[in-house]
Amino acid sequence: MPAGTLVLYTDQPARRADLLRALEQIAPCTTLGAAEPPPSATCIALVADLDLLVPAPLTGLRSLIASTPDLPRVFLMRSMGTRSLSAARGLGGRLCLPAETPVGTVVEALRAQIRPPAAPPKPTAPVAGSAPGVPLVAQAADRAGAVIASLLESARASGTVDAALVNESLDPILGAIGVGGLTAWLETVRAYDDATYQHCLLVAGLAATFAIDLGFSATDRQLLVRAALVHDVGKAKIPLAILNKPGPLDPAERTVMCTHAALGHEILVKAGGFDETVLAVVRHHHEMLDGSGYPDGLKGDAIPDIVRLITVCDVYAALVERRPYRPPLPAAEAMRILHGMKGKLDGYLVRAFERSVAGT
């Protein structure tokens, strides 16, 4: 851990003694009001615990951020609404957690930034139990990543998968999204160096967020996240040279890639234990309302709502994820493209999805 002080900018120092004690486990911590100048000692990280919707001078906070733009930081948010989040982002707050996040999770989130881990290893087996000291979000992502890895590995090797395995990661994902919010989830899963794991985790996080915001029952939330996690299982049967090609696919390669939807459906039917809804998502998540999708060219009402919902999450995830040949698209640009797919995507769901993503 580098030498120096942490800085806690807070507008309620008397109420955050617990947070201060927890932060001091990392390094000495200086508590300041948002207008107070930063300490002269070297700062190694920043926690902002401020109501960003209340007009107040933030001169000290801004001066610290301006002098050390890469300073590790966590913003604790009184509100996870759009206005509050855009204020935090305007201050370079990439990791925004609700104010009620357990202090241990805040400490771990900060530690992870101060000493960033190497890119997570490609997991090969489910992570059993809870590893102490691992942040909730990272822990859920690791567990879900391990499930996806195991799923793809077994589909690749034997052409079948274990339905029960998928269920292990549903509650951790929903819990991590509920506590950490979508922003923290996206930040965490973007560290995965395997494009397919990263994509499935992104789609699962987006689906969990969407399901929570749409007021789905616990059972339906789990169903949606289960479908999201396995939606691309057919990619296990796509040659790695195509799957991991560090550039856009040519038409012949694209044709091969498009077989993943039908292949995934076949794998899950053979495995047994997956309900009809999940099977429909896996086979039809690339169908478009105008019939231009694949593999069956379904149109309009022939595409069930839950499939349409995952399709929206899937298209958005593909746009905002990191690719070897292009940086992730900003959220606003990705939403613009989704709105432009009129006639192909369900416009009502795209608008609801936009509200959901913006509100987290």
CB of 315 to Fe ion, least distance (A): 9
d(CA 272, CA 280): 14
* Stretch of residues binding Fe ion (CB under 5 A), selected from 73-81, 162-170, 224-232, 266-274: 224-232
3-state secondary structure at position 308: helix
Contact with Fe ion (CB under 5 A) among 194, 314, 321, 354: 314
Compute the CA torsion angle 323, 327, 328, 334 (nearest 10 deg).
-110
Question: Which of these segments, 98-106, 140-148, 226-234, 341-349, binds Fe ion (CB under 5 A)?
Answer: 226-234
Residue 287 touching Fe ion (CB under 5 A): no
Cα–Cα distances in angstroms (integers) from residue 250 to residues 35, 241, 245, 246, in the given order? 55, 12, 10, 12
Stretch that binds Fe ion, among 108-116, 166-174, 213-221, 229-237 (CB under 5 A): 229-237
CB count, 10 Å around CB of 238? 20
Q: Which CB, 7 or 166, lies closer to Fe ion? A: 166
Select 88 or 149, whichever has its Cβ closest to Fe ion: 149
Q: CB 356 → Fe ion: shortest distance, Å?
A: 18
Min dist CB 286 to Fe ion, Å, is: 6
Any idea of the CA torsion for 178, 6, 48, 333, to the nearest 10 degrees? -70
| Residues found in the chain | 360
| Rounded CA separation 50/191 (Å) | 28
- Cα 242 to its chain centre, rounded Å, is 25
CB of 243 to Fe ion, least distance (A): 11
Residue 234: CB minimum distance to Fe ion, A? 7
Q: Does 108 bind Fe ion (CB under 5 A)?
A: no
Closest CA to 106 of 83, 79, 72, 80: 72
Q: Which of 108, 142, 194, 232 binds Fe ion (CB under 5 A)?
A: 232
Q: How many residues bind Fe ion (CB under 5 A)?
A: 2
Provide the binding-site residues for Fe ion, judged by CB under 5 A. 232, 314
